[in-house]
Amino acid sequence: SQTIHQWPATLVQPVGSPLSLECTVEGTSNPNLYWYRQAAGRGLQLLFYSIGIDQISSEVPQNLSASRPQDRQFILSSKKLLLSDSGFYLCAWTGGSNQPQHFGDGTRLSIL
């Protein structure tokens, strides 16, 4: 069966520090991959999605970037974190068009 892993589960970082969040999917090949951010008490904001290696679309201009170095690996990065980057980050995958998304457990990011 397919599984999705996100880490770390929680992270506390100072303003201006770099960021790297990792997401991997097992049990499937060529998944579509997504990064979302969820602010406290708010809905989901799509940040990036990818339909293949090195094929990444950015939905929101910001100081975050995403990379997909391997088929089932999706990384969210930042060179310098801002206070506004705090939130709950979720990774998701689908098996193809019109398929449901499956989510990881999320990373709670707090910026000090």
Partner 1 sequence: AQSVTQLGSHVSVSEGALVLLRCNYSSSVPPYLFWYVQYPNQGLQLLLKYTSAATLVKGINGFEAEFKKSETSFHLTKPSAHMSDAAEYFCAVTLGNQFYFGTGTSLTVIP
Interface ranges with partner 1 (CB under 8 A)? 6, 32, 34, 42-44, 46, 49, 51, 88, 90, 92, 94, 97-106, 108
Residue 86's contacts (CB-CB under 8 Å, 6 or more residues apart) are 39, 109, 110, 111
Query: In angstroms, what is the minimal distance from the CB of 80 to partner 1?
Result: 26
H/E element, 86: none
Smallest separation, CB 16 to partner 1 (Å): 26
Structure tokens at 65: 């970037």
Give least dist CB 79 to partner 1, A.
26
Nearest CB to partner 1, comparing residues 72 and 79 = 72
Could you tell me the two tokens for 72?
A: 């089932």
